[in-house]
């Protein structure tokens, strides 16, 4: 059984995945890192040179491949969730958690980051609010919801471990 971390950009998926990996002695993978390695390009380069549609195709292929994996902590990209086939493939052998975050915290946490192509827009605040509005229903219906605005990453990991251990 895998542990799946869903959530918006800057919701803390990678940080929590690393903590979980140590505490549970399980390997963790970052879907975006695998896509970058396989394409030999950064996510920003893929978006700029091949377009978002191409990136979504790579994301879809990887979700398919991961449906056969086991015993992994999988940190997903923030947009994986909007495709039903991705969700079906990933949750086939995974317990899903959704890390929820407020627009204010996303704005704060991404202030100095330039590696997220979807946020390189004129009005970043508006873009974050719009994407969150669109995606929150998907996060909410897919995973066990955890509010990262009120918990530290350590605490979030603790909640996940408790839930995960209770069901395996």
Q: Which residues contact ligand S3P (rule: CB under 6 A)?
A: 9, 32, 43, 77-79, 116-118
Other CB atoms within 10 A of residue 36 CB: 17
Smallest distance, ligand S3P to C-beta of residue 89, A:
16
Smallest distance, ligand S3P to C-beta of residue 155, A:
20
Residue among 79 and 94 whose Cβ is closer to ligand S3P: 79
Smallest distance, ligand S3P to C-beta of residue 168, A:
26
Q: State the Cα–Cα distance between residues 76 and 42, nearest whole angstrom.
A: 16
For residue 74, what are its two tokens? 């999988």
Is the dihedral angle over the CA atoms 48, 49, 50, 56 positive or is it negative?
Answer: negative
Smallest distance, ligand S3P to C-beta of residue 38, A:
14
Residue among 138 and 164 whose Cβ is closer to ligand S3P: 138
* Backbone angle region of 87, left / alpha / beta, with phi > 0 → left and psi within -120 to 50 → alpha: alpha
Residue among 67 and 127 whose Cβ is closer to ligand S3P: 127
């Amino acid at each position: 059984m895998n542990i799946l971390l869903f959530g918006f950009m800057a919701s803390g998926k990678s940080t929590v995945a690393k903590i979980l990996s140590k505490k549970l002695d399980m390997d963790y993978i970052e879907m975006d890192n695998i896509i970058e390695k396989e394409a030999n390009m950064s996510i920003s380069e893929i978006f700029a040179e091949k377009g978002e549609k191409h990136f979504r195709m790579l994301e879809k292929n990887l979700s398919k491949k991961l449906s056969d994996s086991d015993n992994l902590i999988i940190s997903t990209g923030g947009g994986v969730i909007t495709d039903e086939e991705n969700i079906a493939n990933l949750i086939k052998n995974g317990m899903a958690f959704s890390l929820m975050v407020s627009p204010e915290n996303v704005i704060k946490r991404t202030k100095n980051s330039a590696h997220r192509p979807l946020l390189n827009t004129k009005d970043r605040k508006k873009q974050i609010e719009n994407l969150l509005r669109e995606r929150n229903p998907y996060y909410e219906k897919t995973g066990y919801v955890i509010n990262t605005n009120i918990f530290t990453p350590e605490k979030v990991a603790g909640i996940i471990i408790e839930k995960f251990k209770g069901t395996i």
